[in-house]
């Protein structure tokens, strides 16, 4: 459950819910803790958005 995962990695259930909904981007440390908990590479849990960002320079 979300509660079990949260307890295992040291965060709140609300943090897990926010990550699942895309409302919170976990730190690299937290992302690794989640991947380790499931015994999978981080790339199987999180994907990097490689879409370039446009920055306006005035």
What is the domain partition of the chain in residue ranges?
2-45
What is the reported pLDDT for 22? 87
**pTM for the structure as a whole:** 0.75
Local confidence band at 53 (pLDDT 50, 70, 90 cut-offs): low
Question: DSSP string spanning 1-58?
Answer: -HHHHHHHHTS-HHHHHHHHTTS-PPPHHHHHHHHHHHTS-HHHH-----PPPP----
Which CATH number is associated with domain 2-45? 1.10.260.40
What is the reported pLDDT for 48? 72
What would the pLDDT profile of 2-49 be if each residue is shown by its tens digit?
Answer: 999 999 999 999 999 999 998 999 999 999 999 999 999 999 988 777
| Rounded Cα gap, residues 14 and 40, in angstroms | 23
| Rounded Cα gap, residues 32 and 45, in angstroms | 9
What is the reported pLDDT for 1? 92
């Amino acid at each position: 459950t979300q509660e079990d995962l949260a307890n295992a990695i040291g965060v709140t259930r609300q943090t897990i819910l926010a990550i699942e909904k895309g409302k919170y981007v976990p730190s690299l440390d937290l992302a690794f803790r989640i991947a380790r908990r499931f015994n999978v590479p981080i790339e199987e849990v999180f994907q990097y958005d490689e879409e370039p960002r446009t920055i306006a320079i005035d």
